[in-house]
Structure formats: structure tokens, C-alpha cells
Amino acid sequence: MRRLILLGMTAVATAANAQDAPKPREFTADLGFVSTTGNTEVTTFNLGEKLILRAGKWEHKQQFGAVNSAQDGKQTSNLLFTNWRSDYGLGKRLALFGFVGYDRNTFAGISRRFEEAAGVAAKLVTRDSDTWTFEVGVAMNQQRATDGTTLNFASVRSGTFWKHHFSKAAYFSQGVEFLPSLEDSEDYRMNTETAFVAPISTHISMKAGYVIRYDNLPEQGRKASDRIFTTGLQFNW
């Protein structure tokens, strides 16, 4: 009887672990309404997507997002970013990561910026309802302003991300990035994203998000921060 009980407990634990195991592939797409204040004050639509691929110790993430609109035949917003990140697990809590990214924000005076980074990420909390991660690394940046000036510099890439699940599909998340230059102590950027997602059906959710992009040394004649509030639909598979 004891052997049967142990076998039953092992089977239940195995099934639970299989159910909680992350999917090998995940894809989400966002489409919604945007209200921005700061360097631009417009009302428009946003588009974004995220793809996650997992295989063994590897996890790859690809992201894309854009805010682009026109008012009275004149472009009033031009914000775009895309990036790729690969993590290699060093156990249950640590991973090495590599990151390449591109972003453009012409109304903040940036015509293009490339970033290549590498570092280490740690899972500080890994409960069923809560996850909390922290990462730090070094990066190289190649930046061109809309006035034609260029700037190449090394920086630190650091950030933290917290996610709380109210249910399997409903959650609240908060992410913060701190990106200081290693060549000028006053040249640093901070990005934050706050999001709340509530499911409507199996593959559709309502999402509300608030993004702050802060540059302590903005381009000449530009404001230091952009604030972007979005509401809309999220599609996930």
C-alpha cells in the first residue's frame, strides 16, 4: 500500500511539473489606443508583438513595437523599436544573456540607435503567483541624432522585472531599465513599463500599459521624458 501511495504521489508531481512547464513557443500581439505627452502630444494607435522560443537551456525573445501617426497630413509621432535577446540557463536561477536592439524616436531627436549587450540575469523570486528578476551587463551603443551628429559610447544595461498573476491569464507587471553611460555620469536613460492584462477569452485579453522613457541629457531643444499610455487588445498563442 505504501508503495502504491508513493507511486501515486510521484505521478501527481510529474503531471503538475509538466503542466507548469513553460511552452516551447509563445506569441503575443498588441493593438490599441495611445495617448502621449512630452515631446509629442497626439492620439494614435500602437502596434507591438513578442515571440518567445525555448529549447533546452536556451530561451530566445524577439520584440517589436511602433507608434506612428499623422495629423492634418503631417507626421506627429515616429517611435519604433525592435530587439532580440538570447538567455542560456546556468541552473534554476541564473542565466547569461546576449542582447541586440534598435530604436528610433525622431520627435526626441534620435534618428537611430543600435545597442549590443551581454550580461547575467538572476531569478530572485520564482513562486507560482510572483516572479522577480534582476539583470546587469555592459553594452555598446551607436547613436545618430536627427541633426546628423553621431555618438558611440559604452554603457551599463541593468534592469528588474516583477510579474504578479491574479490567475493563469490575468496579471500585473512592472519593469524598470537603468542605462547609464560609462563615459559621462550625467548621461543616463531610464525606461519603465507598467502593464495590467485581463483575459476576455482563451486567446484575447484587455491590456492597459503606461511607459515612461527618460533621457537625462536629451537632444537640444527636446524634453527629457516621453510618457505613453496605451489601452487595447492583446492576442496570444
What is the pTM (predicted TM-score) of this model? 0.82
Higher pLDDT, 72 or 138: 138
Interval 47-59: pLDDT, tens:
899 999 999 999 9
How does strand 110-126 pair with strand 43-55? unpaired
> Mean pLDDT, the chain, as a whole number?
88
Interval 32-86: pLDDT, tens:
876 677 776 767 778 899 999 999 999 999 999 988 777 766 777 788 999 999 9
pLDDT of residue 3: 45
Which fold does the domain 22-236 belong to in CATH?
A: Porin (2.40.160)
- Domains of the chain, by residue range, sit at 22-236
- Work out the average pLDDT over 3-24: 49
Count of alpha carbons within 13 Å of 211, Cβ hemisphere only?
16
The CA-based diameter of the chain, rounded to the nearest angstrom, is 79
pLDDT of residue 82: 97
Which of 195, 198, 188, 206 minimizes the C-alpha distance to 172? 195
Which of 213, 237, 217, 214 minimizes the C-alpha distance to 67? 213
Higher pLDDT, 92 or 114: 114
pLDDT of residue 40: 67
